Amino acid sequence: MKNKPLYAMACAHLCNDINSGALPALLPFFVTYKGMDYTDVGGLLFASSFLASVIQPAFGYLADRTSRQWFMGVGIMMTGGFFGITGLLSGYWAIFAAVTFMGIGSSIFHPEAARLVNKISGTAKGRGMSIFSVGGNAGFGLGPLLAVGLIYLFGLEGTLFFAFLSFIMGLLMLLWAPRFVRMAGQMKSESREHNLKTSDHEQDAVNDWSSFAKLTAVIIMRSVVSAGVRGFLPLFCIQILLVSHATGSTTLSVLSILGIVSTLIGGRIADRIGYARTLKAGCLLLVPVIFLMVYCHEITAVYLLLIPLSLAVQGTYAAFVVLGQSYLGRNIGFASGITMGLSFSAGGCLVPVLGSFADHYGIENAMWILVGIAALLCVCAQLLPEPYRRSRR
């Protein structure tokens, strides 16, 4: 595994996802200073996530047909550039268009980047993907803090800093990408030579569409559960457990911090015991954790359960991305676009339905719905096989 390129890719992932992470923190300022209502800000979130799920697989498909290493640099520049000008725009539809193109930029970056990370990770693909994923997690964690700080110092014009940061990182990726691609090609050649020496038949990747379809269903349900927990857990703590707003909201900060560690741990575990087995174990752990959170009615229990919850959700991230790449060994970019796109966007598109349910029947009943979805997720995950490689005849 090539460590330096992986750390550089993690930094690029941070500079890309810090923009998406900052968007929710910007929305209250849009309500206050630009006169938006909740329908308006909901539209911005929907646009950024929905288009990503549709466009990202398309760019993954293009990356598979021929290497488009410039996707990464241009994607980062687009993501930060269009997000950076949102603070300068006044009309809603102008901001809507900027956020839309921000989502397109992110969709351009992820498939090619994940495809390259897969290549330069060698046999430690789980660990490599976890390092790359930590960059994204850190971006989502730092984005809100940076956005609020910049706006308090410079007003809404402070969002321009995101454009500057992304331009620098995008330029660096345009310079580094050719070298990283050459490294990936060298590792592939060395691996092929090793296989020829140790095996009578060269191993060739195949596409297992049936298993990938099952994995896609699992990712959609996992995304709904993850987005539901992040959206409703603070409200559950405040309204049902009767804690302060600060105590309830801090659950998400703790979960984000734990997620960085859990992602690294999960990647190493996946390399040791297998990607499908790691994902199955995480889904199995998720059911009792969410059940106990809702059942115990104790804020102390909720905070203690954030540790296994982080392992169940973030600890399986690298596993399902690499698993998707393994199922579609001939279309790694397309697989990355589907898995990473749906994991981010599916929950954002479907959780509003759960929110409507909570409005009518209460937040606690909505949390019990999440327990049910987690149980169904667990059952479906057990049907996933470990990836295989077929000998070329």
Q: How much is the pLDDT for 2? A: 62
Phi, psi of 35 (to 5 degrees): 70, 25
| Residue 344 CB partners (closer than 8 Å, separation 6+) | 20, 49, 52, 53, 223
Q: What one-letter code names the amino acid at 8?
A: A
CB-CB contact of 76 with 13 (8 Å):
no
Q: What pLDDT is attached to residue 338?
A: 81
Contact 158/87 with Cβ under 8 angstroms? yes
Q: Which of 296, 326, 309, 332 is nearest to 261 (CA)?
A: 309
Question: CA distances (Å), 53 to each of 99, 140, 214, in order?
Answer: 15, 18, 17
Per-residue pLDDT at 303: 94
- pLDDT tens readout for residues 280-301: 999 999 999 999 999 999 999 9
Report pLDDT digits (tens) over 71-88: 899 999 999 999 999 999
Poorest-pLDDT segment among 64-68, 116-120, 272-276:
64-68
Q: Please name the residue that has the structure tokens 């660096």.
A: 172
Q: What is the rounded radius of gyration, in angstroms, for the C-alpha atoms of the chain?
A: 21
pLDDT at 201: 37
Q: What is the model's pTM? A: 0.73
pLDDT of residue 343: 75
C-alpha to C-alpha distance for 25 and 145, rounded to whole angstroms: 8
Average pLDDT, the chain: 83
Q: What is the predicted pLDDT for the residue at 382?
A: 94
Residue 52 pLDDT more than 80?
Answer: no
Count the neighbouring beta carbons within 10 Å of the beta carbon of residue 374: 25
pLDDT digits (tens, 9 = 90+) for 349-363: 777 778 778 878 888
Q: How far apart are CA 224 and CA 229, in angstroms?
A: 8
Residue 295: its pLDDT value, please?
94
Q: How far apart are CA 351 and CA 369, in angstroms?
A: 11
Higher per-residue pLDDT: 273 or 200 = 273
H/E element, 158: none
What proportion of the chain, given as a percentage, has pLDDT over 90? 37
Is the pLDDT reported for residue 191 higher than 70? no
Q: Which residue has the tokens 């998707």?
A: 324
Binning pLDDT at 50, 70 and 90, where does residue 130 land? Answer: confident
Least trusted range by pLDDT, from 8-17, 47-56, 136-145, 234-243 = 47-56
How many whole angstroms separate alpha carbon 78 and alpha carbon 169?
A: 11
pLDDT above 80: residue 193: no
Model pLDDT, residue 187: 67
Alpha helices in the chain (DSSP H): 3-34, 38-65, 70-84, 92-120, 125-154, 160-198, 209-239, 245-273, 275-296, 299-313, 317-327, 332-361, 363-381
State the pLDDT at residue 383.
94
Cα angle 188, 275, 106; round to 5: 70
Query: C-alpha distances in angstroms, 266 versus 79, 269, 345?
Result: 28, 5, 22
Can you tell me the mean pLDDT for 108-124?
82
Residues 6+ apart with CB under 8 A from 58: 107, 337
| Encoded amino acid at 92, one letter | Y
Distance from chain centroid for Cα 82: 20
Are 374 and 273 a contacting pair, CB within 8 Å? no
Domains with residue ranges and CATH for the chain: 3-203 (1.20.1250.20), 206-387 (1.20.1250.20)
User: In angstroms, rounded to a whole number, what is the distance separating the alpha carbons of residues 255 and 226?
Assistant: 11
Comparing CA positions, the residue from 234, 45, 7 lying closest to residue 127 is 7
pLDDT digits (tens, 9 = 90+) for 21-48: 788 778 778 878 888 876 677 678 777 7
